[in-house]
Amino acid sequence: MSVIEHPVVVPAARSGGGDARPRRPRTSRDGVWALLFIGPLLSGVAMFYLWPIVQTAGFSFTSFGVFGGISFAGLENYARLFAEPDFYLSLGNTLAYTAIVLLGVPIAVILASLLNLPGLRLAAMYRVLFFLPYVAMPTAIAFVWRIIFNGDFGLVNHALSLIGIRGPYWVSTPGFAIVAVAVVGLWSSLGFAMIVLAAGLKTIPPELYEAAALDGADAGRQFRSITVPLLTPSIFFVTIVTVISSFQLFDLLYAILGTTATNSTLPQSMSLVYYFYQAGFVDNEKGYAAAVAMVIFAIIGVVTFIQFRVQRRWVHND
């Protein structure tokens, strides 16, 4: 008796692997749920970020009277701003501060690389010590550094006197005041930069260093050819954050230099944001201060855009 074997029909596997199921078509209900989840965040961004920008832009075309009246001023505030020497002075001070603080980025790269060395004892404690200035209150930092930069008994001038140099009165001399503030800004920003760069160092495969060592590359060559190129994404991020925060300089400058009533050098050492504060809250010129704020916003946007364009040439993206 012959047995007829029937072929077993195996259903064709669906593309995409395993237990694939047909996708449910999107409905308007999905959009409602998505909006419910992101709605609180979008409303917060619109309320606390977008609306103030729009409102400030509107105020920049107005003039506020002494008794609270508002009148349309057109481009008068902007014309006055770009003809004001104090604006260019504050812009130059801000650029000088930014340039000095940016010197902390290569310093942070070197320090982060040293703290990442294998077998380094107490590395975690060193990271915490370097990070403490970043989280400390600017007022407390300013109080300590005002003593260090004191022209009569400060530590800086004492160190200079040991090599025969008479130091200036740092916080009350035009030119030196912004340098003193920038040194404090560099010192206080090192901790954040080091933490970010240390995290970037953890993403570099150790096999690259082992292969380079087998090829005879010393530590310096490994740092130049492996560490720095592969760390450029983190370096770019730190640079962006440093530039933006430097253009927003106010609290550290105010805490170290004080006000025009207590420090006669302040008008020659103010930053862009301090210039905005002086116009809006001291001179009570709200419309002009709004124009200053919009120009600061535009400058930061342009500088950030240029940085993103230039980063394609030097940031490692593979």
Q: Is residue 204 part of a domain?
A: yes
31 belongs to a structural domain:
no
Q: Per the domain annotation, does 64 fall within a domain?
A: no
Closest to 241 in 3D by CA, of 302, 192, 201, 293: 192
Mean pLDDT, rounded, of the chain: 86
Is residue 12 over pLDDT 70? Answer: no
Number of separate domains in the chain: 1
**pTM: predicted TM-score of the whole model, two decimal places:** 0.84
Q: What pLDDT, on the 0 to 100 scale, is given for residue 28? A: 66
Which of 165, 179, 208 minimizes the C-alpha distance to 318?
Answer: 208
Provide the pLDDT for residue 20.
Answer: 53
* CA–CA distances in Å: residue 171 to residues 176, 183, 257, 268: 7, 12, 6, 12
Q: How far apart are CA 196 and CA 61, in angstroms?
A: 41
Apex 307 CA angle, 301 and 312, nearest 5: 140
140 within domain boundaries = yes
User: What does the CA dihedral 216, 220, 224, 228 come to, rounded to 10 degrees?
Assistant: 120
Q: Report the CATH number at residue 187.
A: 1.10.3720.10
Domain with 305 in it: 76-313
Q: What is the largest CA-CA distance in the chain?
A: 118
Tokens of residue 9, six digits:
């029909």
- Residue 305 C-alpha from the chain's centroid: 14
Does the structure show a pLDDT above 50 at 10? no
Pick from 316, 283, 228: which is nearest to 86 by CA? 283
SS3 category, 147: helix
pLDDT of residue 23: 66
Angle (CA) 222-224-230 rounded to 5° is 85
Q: Which residue has the higher pLDDT, 15 or 259?
A: 259
Question: How far is it, in rounded angstroms, from Cα 280 to Cα 274?
Answer: 10
pLDDT digits (tens, 9 = 90+) for 140-197: 888 899 999 998 889 999 999 999 999 899 998 988 999 999 999 999 999 899 989 9
Instruction: Give the residue with greater pLDDT, 272 vs 130.
Output: 272
Q: Which amino acid is present at 20?
A: A
Residues 6+ apart with CB under 8 A from 231: 109, 197, 200, 201, 204
- Of the two residues 12 and 65, the one the predictor is more confident about is 65
Q: Is residue 69 part of a domain?
A: no
User: Quick one: angle between helices 176-202 and 228-247, nearest 10?
Assistant: 140
Across residues 268-296, what is the average pLDDT? Answer: 93
3-state secondary structure of 249: coil
* Residue 172 falls inside a structural domain: yes
Tell whether 19 is covered by a domain.
Answer: no
Give 17's DSSP letter.
S
On whether residue 128 sits in a domain, the answer given is yes
- Tokens representing 197 are 């760069």
Q: How far apart are CA 265 and CA 169, in angstroms?
A: 11
Residues 6+ away with beta carbon under 8 Å from 12: none
For residue 84, pLDDT over 90 is answered with yes
What's the CA gap between 111 and 104, in Å, rounded? 10
